């Protein structure tokens, strides 16, 4: 139970977008901590994974970044969702929901009479 899970390919972007939708603009450390908390600390994000994902989402236009003072009065880069990011979040959430439903059908098949 103490083992940390690996993030499946394609899920980190969705987790970041959803985190920013729910909480509003956050710095990278805040995004990482929230994802870990939401997972019940089953996920452990390393910054070599998180920051490239944030850069990619920014380059794709799904998030924007600006420098602000953090709660401890340091300069930090805050990330926020764009309109394109909201659309992408809705699309990815729908696709993951459909995938989860499909996999559920295989993992818990109903017996035929």
pLDDT score recorded for residue 109: 80
The percentage of the chain sitting over the pLDDT mark of 70, rounded to a whole number, equals 93
Model confidence at 1: pLDDT above 50: no
pLDDT tens by residue, 54-80: 999 999 999 999 999 888 889 999 999
For residues 94-111, average pLDDT: 90
4 vs 6: CA distance, rounded Å: 7
Domains of the chain: 11-107 (1.10.10.10)
Query: Diameter of the chain by CA atoms?
Result: 66
18-57, pLDDT tens digit by residue? 999 999 999 999 999 999 999 999 988 888 889 999 999 9
Q: If you ran DSSP here, which 8-state letter would residue 34 be given? A: H
> Do residues 82 and 62 touch, judged by C-beta distance below 8 A?
yes
pTM for the whole structure: 0.86
Question: Cβ distance 60 to 52 under 8 Å?
Answer: no
Q: Are 16 and 53 in contact (CB under 8 A)?
A: yes
Closest CA to 6 of 56, 44, 47: 44
Task: Evaluate whether 79 touches 62 at the Cβ level (below 8 Å).
Answer: no
pLDDT of residue 107: 92
């Amino acid at each position: 139970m103490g083992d940390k899970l690996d993030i499946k390919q394609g899920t980190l972007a969705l987790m970041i977008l959803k985190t920013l939708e729910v909480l509003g603009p956050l710095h990278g450390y805040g995004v990482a901590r929230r994802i870990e908390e939401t997972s019940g600390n089953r996920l452990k994000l390393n910054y070599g994974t998180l920051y490239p994902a944030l850069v990619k989402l920014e380059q794709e236009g799904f998030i924007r970044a600006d420098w602000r003072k953090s709660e401890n009065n340091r300069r930090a880069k805050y990330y926020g969702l764009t309109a394109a990011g909201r659309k992408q979040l809705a699309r990815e959430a729908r696709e993951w929901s459909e995938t989860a439903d499909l996999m559920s059908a295989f993992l818990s098949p109903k017996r035929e009479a």
